[in-house]
């Protein structure tokens, strides 16, 4: 390998290393997104070794106020909205 070829090869290696360093945050972000998608993928049969999370269409609960124990509330959470309404006590 001549001096000129060695210099060209070294410059290519340095350029490739810089590109890899620049793309590292994007690679980590993509890995995180893929892991999150795999955790939320509940429509398919669970595969061995893959964790899945439970997905709710609607969540409903009773809220008790610490300041006013005479009034209770119903809390309903969906993908589009959160609603809170008073209940009769």
Nearest by Cα to 63 from 55, 74, 77: 74
- Nearest Cα neighbor of 59 from 43, 40, 82 is 82
In tens, the pLDDT along 46-66 reads 667 766 656 678 889 998 888
Per-residue confidence (pLDDT) for residue 58, from 0 to 100: 86
Do 76 and 82 meet the contact criterion of CB atoms below 8 Å apart? Answer: yes
pLDDT value of position 52:
62
What parts of the chain have a pLDDT lower than 70?
A: 40-47, 50-55, 89
84 in helix, strand or coil? strand
Q: Where are the domains of the chain?
A: 1-46, 58-87
Q: Is the pTM of this model over 0.75?
A: no
Best CA proximity match to 56, nearest among 73, 45, 42: 42
For position 16, what pLDDT does the model report? 92
């Amino acid at each position: 390998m001549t001096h000129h070829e060695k210099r060209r090869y070294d410059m290519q290696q340095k350029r490739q290393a810089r590109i890899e360093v620049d793309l590292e945050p994007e690679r980590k972000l993509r890995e995180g997104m893929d892991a999150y998608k795999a955790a939320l993928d509940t429509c398919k049969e669970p595969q061995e070794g893959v964790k899945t999370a439970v997905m709710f269409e609607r969540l409903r609960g009773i809220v008790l106020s610490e300041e006013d124990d005479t009034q209770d509330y119903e809390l309903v959470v969906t993908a589009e909205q959160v609603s809170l309404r008073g209940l009769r006590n």
